[in-house]
Amino acid sequence: MSTVKKTKGTGKKPVKAPKAAVAATLKADSATSNGNAADNLHIDSNGQTPGVRRRDFIHIATVSFAGVGADAVAMPLVSQMSASADVLALASIEVDVAAIQPGQSIKTSWRKQPVFIRNLTPAEIEEANKVDVGGLRDPQTLADRTKPGKENWLITLGVCTHLGCVPLGAAAGEVKGEYGGYFCPCHGSHYDTAARIRKGPAPTNLVVPEFAFISDTVVKIG
């Protein structure tokens, strides 16, 4: 939809361009009296300007208009292409997690949504693994939500699945809830150390976005 609007809007610009282009062309031609203009004006050996002159003005003006018009149309297209590149850039992010110590989390942003990246401690991993998955509202193991060999890296959207608040627990000193993961104070949802919903109105676990480690410490999200 937005593409259509932009395309319609830019269609007006070339309409204004011809006047400026024609005026600029005429001014330039009439102002040049050093002999170069003669090529354009076809001044004959007697200093006369045959009838072809008017047609040449029209021709020059038309070419100028076409050029300006093309530029005026092309710029929005380039602009749209740039916008698409920006969107593509936002489609994935790369985060170096080397500095995140066990027990620490960071908040980052991906596609305008908060993302929590958490380095689980061995105790938090053990806590997550000893849960009876069958009794969970949204049954998933920690392994289901992490990568093989990287089970300590819990990466989720920081968006409560109830009504979209940003839960607490990622920043130092924030309340982590009754299950040591995240706590959404909006309506009291508690998530465990695998960010699975354990108590409160949220229907599902915090969402794990598509991600992959592209090196030992750099994770690509998206």
Applying CB under 6 A, which residues contact ligand FES? 160, 162-165, 184, 186-189, 200-202
Cα dihedral 203, 209, 212, 215 sign: negative
Looking at residue 90, the DSSP 8-state letter turns out to be: H
Cα dihedral 118, 120, 125, 128 sign: negative
42, 59, 187, 190: which is the annotated catalytic residue?
Answer: 187
Q: Which amino acid is at 64?
A: S
187 is catalytic: yes
Backbone angles phi, psi at 215, to 5 degrees: -155, -175
Q: Quick one: 18 or 188, whose CB is closer to ligand FES?
A: 188
Looking at residue 135, the DSSP 8-state letter turns out to be: G
Q: Quick one: 61 or 184, whose CB is closer to ligand FES?
A: 184
The minimum distance between CB 159 and ligand FES, in angstroms, equals 9
**Residue 134 in tokens:** 């069958």
CA angle 48, 54, 55 (to 5 degrees): 125
Asked if residues 196 and 136 have their Cβ atoms less than 8 Å apart, the reply is: yes
The minimum distance between CB 218 and ligand FES, in angstroms, equals 31
Q: Quick one: 195 or 202, whose CB is closer to ligand FES?
A: 202
The minimum distance between CB 155 and ligand FES, in angstroms, equals 19
Q: Considering only CA atoms, which of 171, 9, 202 is closest in space to residue 106?
A: 171
**Residue 29 in tokens:** 């031609």
Q: Quick one: 22 or 190, whose CB is closer to ligand FES?
A: 190
Q: Quick one: 93 or 165, whose CB is closer to ligand FES?
A: 165
Task: Classify strands 211-213 and 218-221 as parallel, antiparallel or unpaired.
Answer: antiparallel
Residue that the structure tokens 């929005």 belong to: 76
The minimum distance between CB 166 and ligand FES, in angstroms, equals 9
Asked if residues 128 and 195 have their Cβ atoms less than 8 Å apart, the reply is: no
The minimum distance between CB 118 and ligand FES, in angstroms, equals 18
Catalytic amino acids? Answer: 187
